[in-house]
Amino acid sequence: MGDQAAGARRGRAWSEEEDAQLVEGVREGLGLSELAERHGRTTGGVRARLDRFVPWSGSPVDDPLGRLRSRLAADPGYAWREVGAERRLRERRGRHGTHAPAEPLAAAPASSTAEVLADWEHVTGHVLRPERREVFLARSVVHDLAAKAVAVRRAAARRLWHDGDVLLLDDWLLECVCPGAVRLAADWSLIAERDADTVLVLGELMAAAVDEMPAERDREVLSRRLGLDDQPARTLEKVAETLGLSRERVRQLQTRAIRRLAGADAPASRKLRQVLAELSCVQRVPPEAGPSAAERLLDLSAVLLPSVTPRQAVPLLARLAGADKVRADNLAAEASTIRILQNESARREATRERRIERAGRRWEALVGEVTWFGEPEPAPPRTAWETLREEENADRGRFGVWHCPKLDRDVSYESETELRVIHLLSFAPQIAYYQEQPLAISYEFAGQQRTYYPDLLAVTEDGRCILIEVKRVYEMAMAINVAKYRAAEEFCRLRGWGLVATDGNRTRRLLEHRAVDPRLEAALVAALDAQGELTWPQVVAAADSLPLDALGLSSLILKHGWTWQSRPYRLRPASP
């Protein structure tokens, strides 16, 4: 029986507890044979295990026991666990090398890793002992940091140290990849209130996590399916047509990419999963006063993946939050039921007079923000309008449908923000009727002629027409949305119509008249003049310690006529 137990232990993987006991035996001065006998392992197995706890030198260590013993004697606090974790990461990268080619750890020159160490010591004011320096430079995260732009890396280090007098390497790398992600709070109230800065950083974190995926095909499929390239999410059929693949093959690639993203070790991927797990509560019971996990996932899908239908977005976010496939599917089914109940509740609410009064007050505030052009023409009859994109919406999957009591028909909408404006128009007594996506306006963007379908046309009780573009406020400064707005201005000018861009509460004028710190404005102007194009990390690096928020940055973009592309973030100066 003893031989059988020992044999079973020889075939079993090492646990964290056994690793700790093994290192403790080394501290006690035990030899290889004594350690092997204590743990029921072979001497070769013990030697191989000890080799994992000494810094990697490019080839196996002749005497790992002696080297580890000398390390522990020189530094009782030697971080052998961190060294073992680095070895596991190296081996994992090696196993996936054929599918996810990445630069070898030795790709960064020694001088670059030394610069990372110098930056760390300069910011923290600490100087490492020679043996600790060796461990520091052996970590793969140092090589990743060495590959980042110097200005971005140093600005990230200063921000983290300024915030908490701590500069952890993993946090440092994450701050370089997605500024603000380290300090991103898993505070549900910020999601419920649609806090602009939280939404912006969370969206960039999602884009950064996808961009970290080693396989180009995985990145391409997920970017198109999730709408991470400033375009609506594509259907399986559209992606298949673009890539020259079958619909089923694209579905398989998407499933594989999601599985890889859910298990990726890259910094943005880990942070994204952590934040989603805390916000969604899929692995714990939500607070009594808060929404359920399914309700939270519905809200998160509206924030992170606004152009993806909830039936697709909810299970994806649930998987990233740590739920298995069965749990994710159950949450998606529960979320679908919640949406039905929410629509039923909204329909009952439509009969209440107080909602009509509230909508009337909101409309009075909003109509003051409308830009009017020329002498108004009489509004066309109600029967002259129809939804021009109904067929396209059916092809790519509408976000949702809500029954409007004022129009006595179902109204389709493509985002939570658009539904909020539809509710306003439905209950405001000043609005006679409205029509979703009634027009097709031609505009030019990126050297191509395109067609734009304004979200809503509202006709007031006094016969005036108002074209309404629905966007989250800070997104109104995106280059493609600026091009659409200019085309809509010209369209309204020829007809004497009004035009407003809104999220239901705030309008484009909030950006146009927002006061911004002149130091921040000067810093960004200088950075654009010097570099010609800025990524999100470079924008935050240029701002350095100056206060930077999404609305202020969008205000500067409109003021200077800069070109902003999101997901991935690109900021360019105005075209000549």
- Tell me the DSSP string of 362-395: HHHHHHTTPEE-SSPPPPPPGGG---TTHHHHHH
User: In the prediction, which pLDDT does 7 show?
Assistant: 44
Helices 550-560 & 196-211, crossing angle to 10 degrees?
80
How many C-alpha atoms does 313 have within 13 Å on its Cβ side? 28
CB of 428 closer than 8 Å to CB of 359: yes
The pair phi, psi for residue 458, each rounded to 5°, is -110, 140
Beta bridge partners, 434, equal 458
CB of 257 closer than 8 Å to CB of 221: yes
User: In the prediction, which pLDDT does 57 show?
Assistant: 59
Burial class (CB in 10 A: 0-12, 13-18, 19+), 364: exposed
Q: What is the dihedral sign for C-alpha 295, 306, 533, 205?
A: positive
Q: Return the DSSP state at 178.
A: S
Tell me: the pLDDT tens digits for 425-436? 999 999 999 999
Helix (H) or strand (E) holding 469: strand 465-470
Q: Which positions of the chain have pLDDT values less than 70?
A: 1-13, 56-61, 85-111, 350-352, 389-398, 576
Q: Is 451 left (phi over 0), alpha (psi -120 to 50) or beta?
A: beta
How far apart (Å, rounded) are the C-alpha atoms in residues 566 and 113?
31
Instruction: Give the burial string for 466-504 (b: 16+ CB within 10 Å, else e).
Output: bbbbbbbbbbbbbbbbbbbbebbeebbeeeebbbbbbbb
Tokens coding 194: 């649609």
User: In the prediction, which pLDDT does 6 show?
Assistant: 45
How far apart (Å, rounded) are the C-alpha atoms in residues 264 and 291?
29
User: In the prediction, which pLDDT does 398 show?
Assistant: 57
CB of 100 closer than 8 Å to CB of 151: no
Beta-carbon contacts of 566 under 8 Å, excluding residues fewer than 6 positions away, are 203, 230, 475, 478
How far apart (Å, rounded) are the C-alpha atoms in residues 501 and 486?
11
The pair phi, psi for residue 435, each rounded to 5°, is -140, 130
